[in-house]
């Protein structure tokens, strides 16, 4: 096939006698050349294209380097040469005189994977020298083109799929993770990452890849699919690679970029939704409750708090979560939705974790901040409205109050409302009958005043929560004070508005028999309340209060009180002081 001489180089070593015999045979055998349709000899190469590929990205031109297989036969079908028999493709430049003229012409315009039958007349083949002792032979070649390239070629990049959102593109010195299928130009597969159970992970532009792949990956977006065609001088060149990549082979890679980062990357934040009126942002040391979807850069979901129907609860900036999330949550507002992109050196590094987060993976978290607080937070109180009239008395510890309330989580989830029960809630302030934060928030209110209270969990239901209330939840109350009654001093069940009667037992002993049973005691106390001379502890059943008072005075528990047993609470307290002294 080479123009430097016929395929059978033994012709160059024939003795003189045999050479003379060959010239004699040449004179006799000129009739072996194939006739043209008009009956004369062929003037040019006859080309029969019996297999044309559907897609032909380029055709062979003069000066191209080609790789092809062929079978060479005479008109009678006898084979005189075959690249298949040598298990070696022909790799040569076309149109520069290195091939017989007929082959040079016959290869022009061919596509990769095209099959042609070439009929080469003697004057475009080996002429009078002949081949296999047959001069002026018409030659028949069955050729399949496997590769074509030119020294002026560059890397050819075709974008097959580009995602609508491209957070960043590959640059030199980036670290990439990608899947690929590698084939020769004729489609012969030589390698694939998909069969290896993981992506191919490497730096770009640092000499870790063949030059063509370094170039072909530049500008790719995560999730993008590309076809990268690399000429051999930007791949493995004359040496090839092992047994799978021949010498001077063009390479085709179908690449899917999974993710990209740079060792210098920091956490990237994108605010997706910011609620109005953000007055406080999370700082290190805050305890936060948030929902999240965690995905890889190609969109593969690896975890979600929504699937567990429970927020993720943790301290921020204290090392309880990966460093990138620790950083990414700081500065967020309650109710905010943000996207946090974390490079692997601030996530799970080269090793990854579990079977869903591979090594060197960039992580993307779409976060919804439900609430956060600090263990040192007090109750936040905001007055929504106050009555127009002057307020001289406000609710204080010990007061008995009636109030309406609506309670929700900070994300707006409704929990409880007194309006559902058709009546206000009642409580004695400081009696530990309501959560501490609500108790505190009701103090100092005027009747008719409306307040908004933000109650941190350590002043509400704590880490464990309560029925309908998640653990560590910040609660939002809207409260309205409906009424208040002055409370009694601690430990008192009844107080006098003025000095009690000088002879209290005689006034209490209604039938004057020297003893006071519970019926007389109850009648007397109710009369004092009715006449405005005293009042019972508010917020408790009067009958129970009076019964407790009687039990306190009936010191020997015989069902009646005597003059010796009756003693005022103030006198008891004074006696206790003297005893302590």
- The catalytic residues are 292, 302-303, 322, 348, 365
What whole-number distance in Å separates Cα of residue 43 and Cα of residue 58? 28
Closest CA to 191 of 135, 236, 131: 236
Structure tokens at 148: 């074509």
CB 481 within 8 A of CB 385: no
Closest to 232 measured CA to CA, from 215, 219, 220, 249: 249
The full DSSP string for 48-69 is EEEE--S--S----TT-EEEEE
DSSP 302-328: EEESGGGTS-EEEESSSSSS-HHHHHH
User: Residue 417 — φ and ψ, nearest 5°?
Assistant: -155, 135
* Residue of 63, 61, 37, 54 whose CA lies nearest to 119: 37
Joined tokens for residue 540: 């408790």
How far is C-alpha 253 from the geometric centre of its chain's CA atoms?
27
Q: Is 151 in a helix, a strand, or coil?
A: coil
Distance CA 369, CA 288 (A): 8
Q: Is the CA virtual torsion 309, 314, 319, 325 positive or negative?
A: positive
| CA separation for the pair 426, 403 (Å, rounded) | 6
Q: Helix (H, G, I), strand (E, B), or coil: what is residue 157?
A: strand
Distance (Å, whole) CA 551 – CA 500: 20
What token pair was written down for 525?
């106390």
Give residue for tokens 């007389």: 520
Q: Which tokens hold the place of 192?
A: 């694939």
Q: Which helix (H) or strand (E) holds 407?
A: strand 400-409
- 286-308 as b/e, with b when 16 or more CB fall inside 10 Å? bbbbbbbbbbbbbeeebbebeee
CA–CA distances in Å: residue 96 to residues 3, 45, 63, 101, 148: 10, 18, 7, 10, 15
């Amino acid at each position: 096939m080479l123009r430097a001489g016929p395929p059978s180089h033994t012709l160059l070593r024939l003795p003189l006698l045999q050479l003379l015999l060959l010239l004699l045979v040449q004179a006799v055998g000129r009739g072996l050349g194939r006739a043209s349709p008009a009956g004369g000899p062929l003037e040019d190469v006859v080309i029969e294209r019996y297999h044309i590929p559907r897609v032909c990205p380029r055709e062979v031109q003069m000066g191209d380097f080609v790789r092809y297989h062929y079978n060479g036969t005479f008109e009678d079908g006898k084979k005189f040469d075959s690249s298949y028999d040598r298990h070696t493709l022909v790799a040569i430049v076309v149109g520069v005189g290195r091939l017989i003229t007929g082959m040079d012409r016959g290869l022009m315009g061919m596509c990769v994977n095209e099959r042609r039958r070439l009929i080469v007349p003697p004057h475009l083949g080996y002429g009078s020298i002949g081949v296999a002792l047959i001069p002026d032979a018409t030659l028949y070649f069955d050729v399949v083109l496997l590769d074509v390239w030119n020294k002026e070629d560059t890397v050819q990049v075709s974008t097959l799929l580009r995602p609508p959102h491209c957070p960043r593109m590959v640059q030199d010195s980036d670290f990439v993770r990608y899947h690929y299928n590698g084939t020769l130009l004729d489609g012969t597969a030589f390698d694939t990452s998909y069969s290896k159970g993981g992506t191919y992970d490497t730096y770009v532009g640092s000499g870790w890849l063949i030059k063509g792949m370094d170039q072909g990956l530049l500008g790719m977006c995560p999730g993008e699919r590309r076809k990268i065609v690399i000429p051999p001088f930007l791949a493995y060149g004359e040496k090839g690679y092992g047994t799978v990549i021949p010498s001077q082979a063009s390479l085709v890679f179908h690449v899917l970029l999974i993710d990209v980062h740079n060792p210098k990357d920091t956490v990237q934040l994108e605010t997706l939704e910011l609620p109005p009126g953000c007055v406080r942002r999370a700082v290190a040391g805050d305890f936060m409750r948030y929902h999240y979807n965690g995905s890889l850069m190609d969109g593969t979901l690896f975890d979600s708090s929504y699937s567990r129907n429970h927020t993720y609860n943790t301290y921020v900036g204290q090392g309880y979560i990966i460093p990138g999330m620790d950083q990414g949550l700081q500065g967020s507002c309650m109710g905010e939705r943000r996207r946090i992109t974390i490079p692997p050196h601030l996530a799970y590094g080269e090793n990854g974790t579990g079977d869903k987060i591979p090594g060197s993976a960039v992580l993307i978290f779409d976060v919804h901040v439900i609430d956060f607080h600090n263990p040192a937070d007090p109750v936040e109180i905001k007055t929504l409205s106050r009555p127009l009239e002057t307020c001289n008395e406000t609710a204080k510890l010990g007061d008995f109050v009636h109030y309406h309330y609506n309670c929700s989580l900070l994300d707006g989830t409704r929990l409880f409302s007194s309006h559902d029960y058709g009546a206000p809630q009642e409580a004695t302030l400081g009696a530990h009958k309501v959560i501490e934060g609500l108790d505190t928030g009701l103090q100092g209110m005027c009747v008719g005043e409306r307040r908004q209270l933000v109650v941190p969990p350590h002043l509400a239901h704590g880490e464990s929560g309560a029925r309908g209330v998640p653990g560590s939840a910040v609660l939002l109350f809207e409260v309205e004070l409906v009424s208040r009654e002055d409370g009694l001093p601690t430990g008192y069940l009844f107080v006098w508005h003025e000095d009690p009667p000088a002879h209290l037992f005689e006034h209490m002993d209604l039938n004057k028999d020297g003893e006071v049973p519970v019926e007389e005691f109850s009648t007397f106390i109710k009369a004092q309340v009715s006449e405005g001379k005293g009042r019972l502890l508010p917020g408790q059943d009067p009958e129970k209060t009076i019964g407790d008072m009687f039990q306190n005075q009936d010191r020997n528990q015989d069902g009646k009180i005597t003059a010796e047993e009756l003693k005022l609470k103030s006198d008891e307290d004074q006696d206790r002081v003297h005893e302590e002294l």
